Amino acid sequence: MREKESAARDQELPQELAQESQGRGAPRLPPRPASQFASPEDAVARKLAREQKDAQVRGVTSIQAMRDAIKRVGRGLPVIAEVPRLGALDAAAFRTRAAQGLPFLSSGVVGRWPLSALTPQTLRERFSHLPVRARVGDYINTAFAPDRAMQDMSMQEYLELVAGGTLDLPPYLGNLELRELNGLCHWPTYFDKMGPPRFWLGPAGTVTPLHCDYDDNIFAQIWGSKRIFLSPPHHDEFLYPKEANAILFGSPFNPEAPDFDRFPLARAASMIECIVHPADLLYVPAGWYHYVRALTFSLSSNRWARALPFALNGDPSLQRAAD
């Protein structure tokens, strides 16, 4: 879930742009943007332009105003000790529940997807040719860096790499737009406007470090199980946040191995733990911090809304005038 760890979530490259390599080599993806070579002035200009575009896409006056409103609403939320588990929800029921600004689990949607009926062996049998970009090395501590280590390979090569089990931190396929897999998913129309599906694949031990996205998020667990920690938006003051982009903030705090000597304020942060299982759909409201660890070989997918978050209840002061 962004898990958007990337310093620029939307810079992950579309699958359909992959180029087939010649001969026996793995398919190749286009090179990553060389943003580290930009001048400070260019970087500032690009950041401003992106924030303006993000605001326009979401129909809000500004991303900063939206973030502030989310944290303000968060301060009025009730304290919860666990994530409630609900049955199947139609769009109206989902939106009513989401307007409360709290995370919840629902069932009855993901389990009906054709992809849920398949097994990981299908990746070798039907999708081994797909070009993928794996997060390698210490991708936890460099999760929000623009130059984090990535490696291009085929799905087959990735599966062989993780099957070797020789690395302390298994490589991770995260935030990839795999359209061949999405053809086997039937997403509910909970959001009027949303981004493309993103897929997260890897063995037990793959991790998405603590971060928050300022977009509403539905997270589908397709295969396997994951442990997720959640913390409300206004507790960012305890989590030492660092901006990756206007929509994505990371935190160096690890709720699985808390270091209160380094991060003493984190003692005051609320952390709610939940386990997602196959066929679960988790709603993560905009601004909620989350940390994710795969407990087994797992495949997940998520979609982010591109609109005013439900918890803000259509606040007219945040709505952008029509261009």
What value does the mean pLDDT take over residues 142-147?
Answer: 83
Distance CA 142, CA 148 (A): 6
Cβ atoms of 106 and 190 within 8 Å: the answer is no
Can you give the residue ranges of every domain in the chain? 42-313
Alpha carbon distance 169, 174 (integer Å): 14
Rg for the chain, CA atoms, rounded: 19
- The arithmetic mean of pLDDT across residues 127-147, rounded, is 91
- The mean pLDDT value for 252-263 works out to 97
C-alpha 304/C-alpha 216 separation (Å) is 6
Q: Which fold has domain 42-313?
A: Jelly Rolls (2.60.120)
**How far is C-alpha 38 from the geometric centre of its chain's CA atoms?**
27
0.85 cut: is pTM over it?
A: yes
Most distant pair of Cα atoms in the chain: their distance: 60
pLDDT reading at 278 higher than 80: yes
DSSP 224: S
Which H or E element spans position 133? Answer: strand 131-135
The count of C-alpha atoms lying within 13 angstroms of the C-alpha of 67, restricted to the half-sphere facing its C-beta, is 18
- Does 23 have pLDDT greater than 90? no
Average pLDDT for 82-94: 97
